[in-house]
Amino acid sequence: MSKYGGIDAIIQTLLRCDEEPPDEDYSPLDFGATLAQSLSPAGLRDLACAILRRLPSSLASSVLEGLLATSVDMLNPQLMFDEIATGSQLDTGATIVELLVSRFEVAPDDVSAELFRRLLRAHDAAVQDRYAFALWALFCGETVLIKEGKTVGYLVSAALAEIDVQLLRSDLSEYSKATLRACRSASQSTTSADGAG
């Protein structure tokens, strides 16, 4: 696949280098950029999906930044949304939300609408929790929107209605309910702040 071997070998190399960097100049972002130059588009797509599924969120984010620096068209937003449900860690959703908003320039209201749609269709508690956490990342997390001091106020009323619909579900996990309530609190705070301004 590449000079680093197949996907499993690359994942193991990334994990090993994260624990014990090979030298003081090592950077997962630079390693990702190097990988992007040695793989086919299909190979890059498969690797990006494996990274999202198997690496810790912060490491995945750095490596993907490197991959996307030269090959942003290897992934598409729908593929990214699909990967939220399969991530090995809950916070994979936050990494994906960050990429969707910052790299793919998907409008936050479109991200929100798609996450709510997928959450409504999800019946497995673990998948529900991943979508709920991704919504939390959009509303409250360390996304580019929060870092730049932007609010998601213009999607608040639609989001509040969606949250109310989701909370009526009898099959929604307790974690997802608590997370959506946190989103609602953040949205209501935004509404209050906007009203005060």
In a domain, 17, yes or no: yes
- Average pLDDT of the chain to the nearest whole number: 82
Do residues 69 and 106 both lie within one domain?
A: no
Cα–Cα distance measured from residue 188 to residue 163, given in angstroms and rounded to the nearest whole number? 12
Do residues 116 and 174 both lie within one domain?
A: yes
pLDDT tens per residue, range 17-45: 999 998 889 999 999 888 888 888 888 88
Do residues 103 and 170 both lie within one domain?
A: yes
Do residues 70 and 134 both lie within one domain?
A: no
Mean pLDDT value of segment 163-168 = 92
Do residues 109 and 194 both lie within one domain?
A: yes
Do residues 196 and 132 both lie within one domain?
A: yes
Do residues 108 and 71 both lie within one domain?
A: no
Determine the structural domain holding residue 55 and report its residue range: 1-75
In a domain, 162, yes or no: yes
pLDDT tens per residue, range 68-107: 876 666 678 888 899 898 877 788 888 888 888 888 888 8
In a domain, 82, yes or no: no
In a domain, 36, yes or no: yes
**C-alpha pair distances (Å), 25 with each of 21, 28, 29, 68, 132:** 8, 10, 11, 20, 37
Do residues 103 and 157 both lie within one domain?
A: yes
Cα–Cα distance measured from residue 56 to residue 52, given in angstroms and rounded to the nearest whole number? 8
Do residues 196 and 107 both lie within one domain?
A: yes
Per DSSP, 74 falls in state: G
pLDDT at 14: 93
Q: At what angle do helices 174-196 and 125-139 cross, to 10 degrees?
A: 20
Number of structural domains the chain divides into? 2
In a domain, 88, yes or no: no
Do residues 54 and 107 both lie within one domain?
A: no
pLDDT tens per residue, range 98-152: 888 888 888 888 888 999 999 999 999 999 999 999 998 888 765 545 555 554 5
pLDDT at 126: 93
Do residues 44 and 101 both lie within one domain?
A: no
